[in-house]
Amino acid sequence: MTDLAKKFADYQEIYTKGKYVTFKSEKVKVMFHGKFFRFEGVKDVITEEQENILVEWVASDYLEEVDFKFYHEFDRNLTPDSFTLDVTEDKVITVKTKNLRGFRYAMEAFNLLFEKIETGVACPIISLSHHVSFNMRGVIEGFYGIPWTHQDRVELLSYLGQNRLNTYMYAPKDDEYQRKLWRELYPEENLVKFTELVEKAEKEMIDFYYMISPGNDIDYTKPEEVKVLTDKLQQMINLGIRNFGLLLDDIDYILKGNAKKKFSSSASAHAFLIAEVDRFLASELADYDLVACPTEYDNHHDSLYLEILNRELPKHIPLFWTGPSTLATQISTKDIEIMSASYERPIVIWDNIPVNDYQKDYELLFLSPYENRSPKLTNKEFDVVGIVSNPMAQWEMSKFTVQNMSKYLWNTSAYKVSQSWTETLTEYAGSDYYEALEVFTSFNPNKYTREVYTLEQLTKIEAKDEAYITAELAKLAAASEKLATLPNEAFQKNVGPWLERVKKDVAYWEVVKSGDVTKVKEMKEELSQYPHRIGSDLVAKYVEETGLLK
């Protein structure tokens, strides 16, 4: 692979003969011509974050000689967020996009063009083209348990922007105003935080969705109930939010009382409510998006509920699907073939990885790649408009899977799990910490997408190979000690209890090797009270498989 091919490996089409234009100066002077919207100027679209130390931007009315002329043009034939970039021998750079987010991504490629050389600056003659695989790419904060902090969300929005993700959905199950107290308006202190998030999302070009979950106790038959719901949404509209979600997941959908008299099925009631919300949003906003989560959100087959819901619901409203199970081990081509035919409308995949809110999963960290998802989810006939990850309560530790997923969503056809995982860990921790992080993550797999124990580990445990387990624990302990020095405060705060658990497991192993059954029982009981566990717990597996305590 050539140097240019490596540099621009994130993009689908790269055309170059390796020819450069060079300039005998410390900076290249580039004149900006904005043709995307009327009076588009360089200061309107190029932020400080996009500045390049090798480039000096000047306005189109600049009278002196420049090195390059740069044109930004609108191309309606491109898909949202996609772009083309061309550098010609006559020193003209042309970027075409369909939206300004596409321009942001084009500028990332633009800043890779210029290279410092001994005599000045060099720029390749090159043509780039990238068509983003999914229109909607991001995160839904949709887990049970303690929601993220406000600062987590602010940092999250920056992170999404940096990783070419474009969607954040606010849906924490334990925000009482979002679910339990959905009828009550948010107090002023909450609105101040929402305003900050909306402004941050706008700066990062992230689509901010407010999701609400009234399904546990709303009375579908009362107009005043629907009015309470829409008043709550109006409060969000007043903050500048124009993207919404109506969530009817995890509710008892057996109709009772007046609802049972008015509607023939829960699907009809749900279609009615979603349509009412859609009509309200259309009356208040010229442009908006609404997505809904049905009660049957994890089917791997068609159903009467879905048939009725799809028949009675306006076709432009996408529905969520988590895959063929709530915590989907895989989403195969066959799975999406079945469900796209059942949904008969746009689908947003609510992907419940790496979430750890099911039963006692909160004791674990799920640190695995984004895998077992068909590359054919991008096929037009399936109408999958996007995928959002539902992360762990530990946002910092969720970054590994989310960042890995961003590569899949950006360029699905080029996504290679092993290669991208290596890149993800290296980008996060740097080369000095890569090996330690690779070891630690391998001991904390996502049990829903891969096996908890490797074949080698199971074979060695069955053979009672104590030397092997000792060596594996020593490797994990050394990795943990190294990671304890990684200079990242958020990482240390999130991972600290699990690094401490490694020390406890090493001590437990010494007791197990001693053969003192009484002490083994005591320490096993002690560890059961510690609410953090290593996923691939070799000591516990050894004790279980060898029957030491029987």
> Hey, which residues are catalytic here?
250
Alpha-carbon torsion 213, 217, 221, 224, what sign? negative
Report CA 201 to chain centroid distance, whole Å: 15
Q: Which letter, b or e, does each residue of 139-149 get, where b requires 16 or more Cβ atoms within 10 Å of its Cβ?
A: bbbbbeeebbe
Burial class (CB in 10 A: 0-12, 13-18, 19+), 246: buried
Inter-residue contact 106 to 85 (CB < 8 Å): yes
Helical segments of 285-394, H only: 304-312, 333-343
Q: In Å, what is the CA distance from 107 to each residue of 110, 114, 366? A: 5, 12, 34
What is the dihedral sign for C-alpha 76, 78, 79, 81? negative
The residue among 329, 300, 534, 313 whose CA lies nearest residue 440 is 534
Structure tokens at 115: 């290279």
Strand partners, 169: 140, 209
Question: Which residue in 468, 472, 451, 450 sits closest to 459, CA to CA?
Answer: 468
Cis upstream peptide for 354 (omega within 30°):
yes
Any idea what DSSP says for residue 433?
H
The CA distances from residue 129 to 15, 96, 245, 424, in Å, are 9, 10, 33, 24
Distance of CA 494 to the CA centre of its chain: 18
Contact 280, 236 (CB under 8 A): no
What b-and-e string marks burial along 12-35, b requiring 16 or more CB atoms within 10 Å of the CB? bebebeeebbebeeebbbbbbbbe
Residues paired with 126 in a beta bridge: 16, 87
Whose structure tokens read 């002196």?
Answer: 64
Q: 169 is written with which tokens?
A: 């959905």
Structure tokens given for 25? 């100066």
Q: Where are the alpha helices (DSSP H) in 249-350?
A: 257-262, 266-284, 304-312, 333-343
How many CB atoms neighbour CB 445 within 10 A?
21
From residue 505, how far is each of 225, 332, 387 by CA, in Å?
54, 37, 37
Q: Please check whether residue 483 is in contact with residue 441, taking contact to mean a CB–CB distance below 8 angstroms.
A: no
Task: Please state whether beta strands 167-170 and 207-212 pair in parallel, antiparallel, or not at all (unpaired).
Answer: parallel
Q: Which two tokens stand for residue 536?
A: 């691939």
